[in-house]
Structure 1
């Protein structure tokens, strides 16, 4: 059945690109995951505060390696992506895209930071180069994120990074203690301070 509009991004847009290293400053960067990051991934999924807002745990180094290795396929399939947030090349967090919709030119942002790296605004600092790359290099039109209304740390990250509050979704996120209302934040490529949307 014919589609009545042209996709914002054609299929294959992401797969045609190599996943880049995105610098934050001279010590902090976003890079692809490596085998050496298994301990950091295990630590993240063992962290009670991260478990509070995420749907899974890991019980072995093998599971952590499978999680790392799976990102190559998900990039190729254009469904999800992930970068390690690194300090002097040591993984201290994660930032990525999920629910990638090339036709609509949209994707959902996700992030977490290990306990020892919290308190310095690292997540919000990681969001900016990721956002710039998504708009300028890939051509996404809209990036958004959702978080439980009780997850105030994630809300602060979103607002600090310039993601505009859009509203509340009722009983929209399932966590270990049940369904939570969710706040939605977004940035558009045409927002003030972003690309003019012509690229």
Structure 2
């Protein structure tokens, strides 16, 4: 069957590149994950607020190291891409930002993020999301990026809005959290360039 519409981004668009370090504002950078980041990832998920909004938990630094290895392997598979959000001077991890549900043929992906407890309220998630969005649109050529969060997670709603993601609607009873099914806000940005 002939295809009438060519892919927005051909297969191999990401895999042909080394995963980049992406500069961000406010003394931050997005960099590929390193093995030595495992203690920081494990510590981040000991925070009850972190666990409230995520369905996963690391029981040990070894398990966090396994997550990091999987995140590193995601890049060549082109279905996900994960970065550590780090202090540009010290290299200390202050969060994570990712593209999930990458569909190159449609030029779409979902943005996800988290920050460590001590970095909340400092604009880290907004800065990282803006930097990743700029890279995805300007360097790679994605057409649309989506961002979802529980409607009960007001902080994530603020991050989405401050990062330029318009609220498009609510996905009812869309994600199961520890306390039950959550409605999810759907935000999106479209590459106007």
Q: If the length of structure 2 is used for normalisation, what is the TM-score?
A: 0.95
Identify the residue that residue 86 of structure 2 maps to in structure 1: 86
1:28 correspondence with 2:25? no
Q: If the length of structure 1 is used for normalisation, what is the TM-score?
A: 0.92
Identify the residue that residue 133 of structure 1 maps to in structure 2: 135
Shift of residue 4, structure 1, vs aligned partner? 2.6
3-state SS in 2 of match to 1:132 = helix
Shift of residue 26, structure 1, vs aligned partner? 6.6
Aligned-residue Cα RMSD (Å) equals 1.1
Q: Which structure 1 segments of 5+ residues have no match?
A: 191-195
Which residues of 2 match residues 15-94 of structure 1 at below 5 A? 15-25=15-25, 27-87=27-87, 88-94=90-96
Shift of residue 3, structure 1, vs aligned partner? 2.6
Instruction: Select which of 170, 173, 176 maps to 1:174.
Output: 176
Shift of residue 60, structure 1, vs aligned partner? 1.5
Shift of residue 152, structure 1, vs aligned partner? 0.4
Contact 2:129 2:163 in 1 (8 A): yes
3-state SS in 1 of match to 2:147 = strand
Please give the alpha-carbon distance, in whole angstroms, between the structure 2 residues aligned to 1:83 and 1:15.
Answer: 15
Q: Which structure 2 segments of 5+ residues have no match?
A: none
Q: Which moved more, 1:155-164 or 1:66-75?
A: 66-75
Instruction: Select which of 160, 163, 166 maps to 1:164.
Output: 166
3-state SS in 1 of match to 2:45 = helix
Please give the alpha-carbon distance, in whole angstroms, between the structure 2 residues aligned to 1:25 and 1:144.
Answer: 22
Shift of residue 158, structure 1, vs aligned partner? 0.3
